[in-house]
Amino acid sequence: PHAGSVESKNEAAMSELVPEPRQKPVVPMKPMGINASLLGYIGIDTIIEQMRKKTMKTGFDFNIMVVGQSGLGKSTLVNTLFKSQVSRKSSGWNREEKIPKTVEIKAIGHVIEEGGVKMKLTVIDTPGFGDQINNENCWEPIEKYINEQYEKFLKEEVNIARKKRIPDTRVHCCLYFISPTGHSLRPLDLEFMKHLSKVVNIIPVIAKADTMTLEEKTEFKQRVRKELEVNGIEFYPQKEFDEDLEDKTENDKIRQESMPFAVVGSDKEYQVNGKRVLGRKTPWGIIEVENLTHCEFALLRDFVIRTHLQDLKEVTHNIHYETYRAKRLNDNGGLPPMTVETEENHESNL
């Protein structure tokens, strides 16, 4: 056995020595050839493509609410935002109809398709808001509507046999229209935003901004920001939900410079320098809606649709809905009433 162990030691020593002369100098890795891809490529980068295909099949839901006095161009702005007739006005609403005595809530659904992507868009309008002599508590029907949508989603979620895809009617974004007075916010504006900023993503918008000069506009924006801050009103994007430094930097810029967006809406087209543009015609020229030197509409559109749409949905689901859900489950000893009833019935049957 002793001799054998010596042999095996020698073999081990030999095997250590043998590869030595064959060693090649270390060279940088070649660009991926066929062999390298067989050895090294796993395919993790296709996950994004898989997700894209899945989402393309199911499509997107996006529910946007517009709130503000009548005459501020809410319907026009929403039409301009989605470049199609999506507001209640364009859906057979009579101009002759009187302003409702209380806040009515009208939700109109549309399917918009672009580049193979389908979006089920719901525009929730609130005619009658802030139009009465006495506007006390006129935000209550709106708050009730928002909470009802959370309740609807919760009931679907706690069903034993729940749907694979729960229809989402929760309000992802509320555009709050501020009148371009150039003075301060009305008590009604502050009260509304104070109550509702806790349950929905509020984006303040200064409507019909073409009624103010550039200086007035800048001053008014700063004043609105200051008032919101003094009153402790958090609008979207809320500081505490910035996920990382990149988010924080991007959102800080929006919070400190862009908000509230001073916008002009228009669904009429005009020819300017041989180009067709959306605009408003005035005796002294055409205000181009998508021209940043004229108004901040393009900033608002990019913000709501091109950069933050998914985030608006996530904050709604992970923060606002989650808060509602936790409160409801706590109030009912851990179960929504529907489930409690069915359990009681079940016990009585036993």
Q: Would you say 122 and 62 are in contact if contact means Cβ atoms under 8 Å apart?
A: yes
3 pLDDT above the threshold of 60: no
The backbone torsions φ and ψ at residue 301, rounded to the nearest 5 degrees and listed phi first, read -65, -45
Query: Are 149 and 169 in contact, with CB atoms under 8 Å apart?
Result: yes
Residues pairing with 67 in the sheet:
176
pLDDT of res. 348 = 46
Would the pLDDT of 10 be above 60? no
Using CA atoms, how far apart are residues 344 and 335, in angstroms rounded to an integer? 12
Structure-model confidence comparison of residues 8 and 65, the more confident one: 65
24-80 pLDDT per residue, tens: 555 555 555 555 455 677 888 899 999 888 888 888 899 999 998 888 888 888 888
Q: Is 9 helix (H, G, I), strand (E, B) or coil?
A: helix
At 312-328, the pLDDT tens digits run 999 999 999 999 999 99
The domain spans of the chain are 58-264+291-332
Does the structure show a pLDDT above 80 at 199? Answer: yes
222-237 per-position pLDDT tens digit: 999 999 999 999 899 8
Length of the chain: 350
Average the pLDDT over 244-255 and give the result: 86
Q: For 322, left (φ over 0), alpha (ψ -120 to 50), or beta?
A: alpha
Asked if residues 129 and 138 have their Cβ atoms less than 8 Å apart, the reply is: yes
Among the listed residues 294, 300, 313, the one whose alpha carbon sits nearest the alpha carbon of residue 78 = 300
Question: Domain 58-264+291-332, CATH 3.40.50.300 — does that match?
Answer: yes
* 267-302 per-position pLDDT tens digit: 788 888 888 888 888 887 888 887 788 888 889 989
| pLDDT of 85 above 80 | no
Instruction: With CA atoms as reference, report the closest residue to 177 among 338, 299, 65.
Output: 65
Lowest-confidence region among 116-130, 139-153, 264-278:
264-278
- Residue appearing with tokens 């015609």: 281
- Is 156 within 8 Å of 333 (Cβ atoms)? no
Q: Which residue has the higher pLDDT, 154 or 34?
A: 154
Residue type for 247, please? Answer: D
Give the integer Cα–Cα distance in Å for 312 and 170. Answer: 11
